[in-house]
Amino acid sequence: MSAAIPVPYDVVLDVQKLDLVRDGRLLLDEVSLTVRAGEHWALLGPNGAGKSTLLSVLGAYTHPTRGTADILGHRMGRVNVQDLRMRIGHVNPRHPLQSARTAREVVLTGATGTIELVPRWTPTGEQLRRADELIELLGLTARAGARWPELSQGERGRALIARALMPDPDLLLLDEPATGLDLVARERLLARIDALREHRPGLTSVLVTHHLEELPASTTHALLLRDGGVLTAGPAPEVLTTDLISACFDHPVTITRTHGRWSATSRPGSFSAG
């Protein structure tokens, strides 16, 4: 495992005028974003807006075509991305695990940065202790011995967050973590994300979604993407408004916030009879 990169910075992510072109298509168009330590950002926008593509850049998996991306104090194109990724926890709900590992074993793979357990690898006592601590934090202690096919979608999501936290990253990226969850599972997941952020106040996070109801109450900032470009970005209460969300999704909605959580409802008469 590579040595950890020092963390002598306040700005965790600094993206300036970033373009991303693939197969002749402009997927990201002059995107700029600055995320400081301890902030919790939401990336919102309709399907195809470029949210997951931007998250891939922020996770050091995709290089920009133009512009700059400074991640954890290091510029993409001038740093060993393998070292950089060890400081980033990336949660993908479509985790491609093929074997029937237990939840605890899946969490432990976060120590090696692999999908499967490394053959003949033995975790240290400290790694085992940390895995159990994270499993408890994410509310999975009773399910630690359950195998992957036996876990619900919500339990899998929480196990993947625990896995991403194993290397003690400085940045946590969550790509639509509530996808496919029912109401209760979603609320349990969001409550655990809030608890995690309170437990690790120095942790910075970015969460992708296209549903405001999937935003934790601890969300501090938001960026709205539309057609690959930034519509607006800033403190969440200033961005997640009726006018701006309606413009972003090109549909008239009313935004409300209750107990720190946002929700959107379509305005009466906003759908045509046809």
- Three-state secondary structure of 7-36: CCCCEEEEEEEEEEEECCEEEEEEEEEEEE
**DSSP SS3 for 47:** coil
CB 15 within 8 A of CB 31: yes
Nearest to 36 by CA among 227, 189, 210, 203: 203
Q: What is the pLDDT of residue 82?
A: 86
Q: Where are the beta strands (DSSP E) in the chain?
A: 11-22, 25-36, 40-44, 66-71, 74-75, 88-91, 171-175, 204-209, 221-226, 229-235, 253-258, 261-266
Q: How confident is the model at residue 273 (pLDDT cuts 50, 70, 90)?
A: very low
Rg from Cα positions in the chain: 19
Q: Does the CA dihedral 42-45-47-52 come out positive or negative?
A: negative
- The domains located in the chain, with CATH, are 1-87+169-241 (3.40.50.300), 97-168 (1.10.8)
User: Whole-angstrom Cα distance, residue 107 to residue 102?
Assistant: 9
CB 44 within 8 A of CB 225: yes
Q: What is the pLDDT of residue 270?
A: 61
CA angle, 205 as apex, 198 and 189 as ends, to 5°?
65
Q: What is the pLDDT of residues 129-175, one digit of tens each?
A: 999 999 999 999 999 999 999 999 999 999 999 999 999 999 999 99
Counted residue by residue, the chain has a size of: 274
Q: What is the pLDDT of residues 194-243, one digit of tens each?
A: 999 998 888 999 999 989 999 999 999 999 999 999 999 999 999 999 99
DSSP 201-231: TT-EEEEEES-GGGS-TT--EEEEEETTEEE
Q: What is the pLDDT of residues 100-131, one digit of tens each?
A: 999 999 999 999 988 888 898 999 999 999 99
CB 164 within 8 A of CB 137: no
Please state, rounded to an integer, the average pLDDT across all residues of the chain.
91
CB 45 within 8 A of CB 210: yes
